[in-house]
Amino acid sequence: MHEVSIMEQTLEIALKHAQNQGASRIHRIKLKVGELSGVVPEALKFAFDVVTQNTIAQSATLEVETIPVECYCSNCQENFYPSDLIHLCPHCGQLSREVRQGKELELASLEVS
């Protein structure tokens, strides 16, 4: 489960930001996770509970925002949200080669005191 490693690295970044702000507690961590990122949100939440033990984030809340896959059709010159794993434009049926969002894994915000 690589989510534990991802959560450890995310927590490390969050702790550094909290320290830079002079914070003594992390209340909330918000992540943006793309549908194509290869990360399982439920596994991230489990890993979060494990890696935050005995840290200033121990009682923090993890919020995970799932980012849908958005593709671009070069033929129609329009963005679209594919309905399955094959990214076919719903207007012309052309296979999209450009994924504009849905692969990200981002620490979006941090709430500290």
| Residue 71 marked as a ligand binder | no
> Judging by DSSP bridges, how do beta strands 105-112 and 26-34 pair with one another?
antiparallel
| Residue 73 marked as a ligand binder | yes
Q: Where are the beta strands (DSSP E) in the chain?
A: 26-34, 61-67, 70-73, 78-80, 98-101, 105-112
Starting from the edge strand earliest in sequence, which strands make up the sheet with 26-34, in order?
61-67, 26-34, 105-112
Q: Which segments are annotated as binding site?
A: 2, 73, 76, 89, 92
- Binding site residues for Zn(2+), as ranges? 73, 76, 89, 92
Annotated binding site for Ni(2+): which residue ranges? 2
